Structure 1
Amino acid sequence: MFAEEQNPTTAVAGRRLSDQQAVAQFRQVVSRVEPVAERFCKQETADRENFDCDIQIVVDTSMEGRNAYQTYNDAGKPVVGFTIPMIADARNPDELAFVLGHEMGHHIGQHSHKQQQQAVAGALILGALTAYGQASATAANPYRYTGNDQRDMQNSIELGAGVGQMAYSQTYELESDVIGTAITKAAGYDPVKGARFFARPEGKRTANGRLSFWGTHPPDEKRLATVLATIEGIEVSGGISRR
């Protein structure tokens, strides 16, 4: 299935809609997926006090590229945004439903908060190691040149934050795929058909050099395998496993 999407001759074809038609289709998908996702969120987070399952879904008209994302507004409320090019590029409602469920999964899994914690931990660890190394070097040679120590320390902290943030990025992506599969299926859409969106052979960067949607959501066989395994688990046991 992954190989089929990577091959232009066997990839799923879809009719390109006008922006107006695409947004209308998206709103129809949202009307079915949103209440299902909210119920799923409440079930999954029943042990978390005051967890906010009221996820605001917006059409982001400020961005020109194809993108879908999960974030938080100034009041701390969860938001899932889709750009119009992203909505228009979906080949069917199943793809919209799956991407929507996937992005909601990032909030349910608290992935952005976990990544922030990992970034801080990575920065502290690498910063501490650098400080220890500099102190040891100074103890061994009190006359060594220390003019670059502050810059080296800053570089180490930034590197540690980056490494910490990326440490479990694939784990979070696959966990969101599991959640997205459950939500998509419960809403009456086909998660296998929807997940093909992630398998498309798209560039990792946009024309201006920024990471594209496929750069932050890398296509690989694990994603579709995760979807298939999740569906099997739902059909056998009626539930999902994120472990």
Structure 2
Amino acid sequence: MRRLIPFILISLTACGVSPTIQPFPQQQPDRTETPASAESRRRAVDTARTFVQVVQTVEPVAERECRRIAPRINCNFQIEVDSRPDQLPNAFQTTSPNGRPIVVFNTALIESVENADELAFVMGHETAHHIMGHLERVQMNAAVGAVIFSGIAAMSGANGESVRTAEEYGAAVGARTFSKDFELEADRLGTIITMRAGFNAVRGAAFFTRLPDPGNRFLGTHPPNRQRIEMVRSTAAALSPGI
């Protein structure tokens, strides 16, 4: 599936370059191509085309919801693809130095989804993180945790190294505070974005069933998959009459 890359102009986060959608090339049949490689090439083209179509459909809906819910923030999403090999499927939201929201998909995730609904839901979920201000709230919680833990360590007479260790631990604990709630909030708004873009969010949330279930661990970053799927279903059911 590495053949996916030539059909999308890749923009790596580290390069800070915006991706551009390129026309799909019309390739002449390769007389030496085996049936297996021909099928692989066809699937790569289909996958790339699905990705482009989902981005072009979901992005304007996400930006519209962003302007409605949080009109004071930057709602001009930039979509990027990380093509580094040998990664686990992943997508995440971040921001550029000038505050532009960025959603990054790696090729492993693009290749792992089973349909456009799953890809649309992932995109809706990640854009929802930005709209809800989760990244800033995580950073604030981390800063508060670092101050509290390092302060306690200093008051107890710990040396400089121990205080720094406590500060790092406090930041980690703080960052995880409310992280499960943030994921459920993103699932809810992501469902709304997905459905308003014309995709099936419940079908898209089936992506969770193929992920390792984190369970309900103390200081875990994600809620149990069952809870997330239920959030999607209940939100979709409430939204359906008046999407």
What TM-score do the two structures reach when normalised by structure 1?
A: 0.75
Query: Are the equivalent residues in 2 in contact too, given 1:198–1:219 (CA < 8 A)?
Result: no
Query: What does 1:14-33 correspond to in 2, within 5 Å?
Result: 18-33=43-58
Other-structure match for 1:193: 203
Q: Residue type of the partner of 2:76?
A: D
Identify the match of residue 92 of structure 1 among 88, 95, 115: 115
Provide the residue aligned with 1:143 in structure 2: none
Structure 1 residues 164, 133: CA separation in 2 closer, same or farther (over 3 Å shift)? same
For residue 203 of structure 1, report the CA deviation from its aligned partner.
8.2
> Partners in 1 of 2:183 and 2:143 — Cα distance?
20
Separation (CA, whole Å) in 2 of partners of 1:20 and 1:225: 34
Residue of structure 2 equivalent to 1:132: 155
Match of 2:77 among 55, 58, 70: 55
- Please state whether the residue corresponding to 1:53 is helix, strand or coil: coil
Match of 2:129 in 1: 106
- Residue 173 (1) aligns with residue 183 (2): yes
Counterparts of 1:18 and 1:168, CA distance in 2: 40
- Between the aligned residues of both structures, percent identity stands at 39
| Cα deviations by residue, 1:57-87 (Å, 9 ceiling, x for unpaired) | 1222235422111111233211101111211
Aligned residue-pair number: 198
CA distance in 2, matches of 1:216, 1:57: 24
Q: Relative to structure 1, is the Cα distance of residues 85 and 218 closer, same or farther in structure 2, using a 3 angstrom cutoff?
A: farther
Which residue of 61, 65, 71 maps to 1:40? Answer: 65
Matched, 1:77 2:82: no
Q: What is the aligned-residue RMSD (CA, Å)?
A: 2.3
Structure 2 gaps, min length 5: 1-38, 215-219
Could you state the TM-score of these two structures normalised by the residue count of structure 2?
0.75
- For 2:29, the equivalent position in structure 1 comes to none
- Match of residue 145 from structure 1: none
Contact 1:102 1:181 in 2 (8 A): yes
Contact 2:176 2:221 survives alignment (8 Å): no
2:140 aligns with: 117
